[in-house]
Amino acid sequence: MKNFFNNPKNQVIILFLAALVVLLCMQRIPENTNIAGYKTKQFDLFMDVKPDSLQNTQTDKIQNNDSTNINQDTIK
């Protein structure tokens, strides 16, 4: 087992899998959570491989949450 971790080819695979696990865990953190003074944003790691029907419903939810009311008197 010790030779498995010392092989450079295996170290690349281990690094890749560790990064993938970290990203999958980060994807589960709720939006607007403060971590060390930074607010998290929603992201989807698998957005490129999801069917378009799923992407459209998620985009609609995001757009509905981000809508802001602008007072026309302040724009001149």
Quick check: is 45 in a domain?
Answer: yes
Quick check: is 71 in a domain?
Answer: no
Quick check: is 3 in a domain?
Answer: yes
Q: How is residue 66 written in tokens?
A: 């981000």
DSSP assignments along 14-64, one per residue: HHHHHHHHHHHHHHTSPTT-EETTEE-----TTGGGS-HHHHHHHHHHHHH
Residues 39 and 58 in one domain: yes
Encode pLDDT of 43-68 as tens digits: 777 777 877 766 565 555 555 554 55
Query: What pLDDT shows up at residue 68?
Result: 55
Question: How confident is the model over 10-36, as a mean pLDDT?
Answer: 89
Q: How is residue 7 written in tokens?
A: 């092989």
Residue span of the structural domain in which 9 resides: 1-30
pTM over 0.85: no
For residue 33, count CB atoms less than 10 angstroms from its CB and return exposed for 0-12, middle for 13-18, buried for 19 or more.
Answer: exposed
How many Cβ atoms sit within 10 Å of the Cβ of residue 55? 13
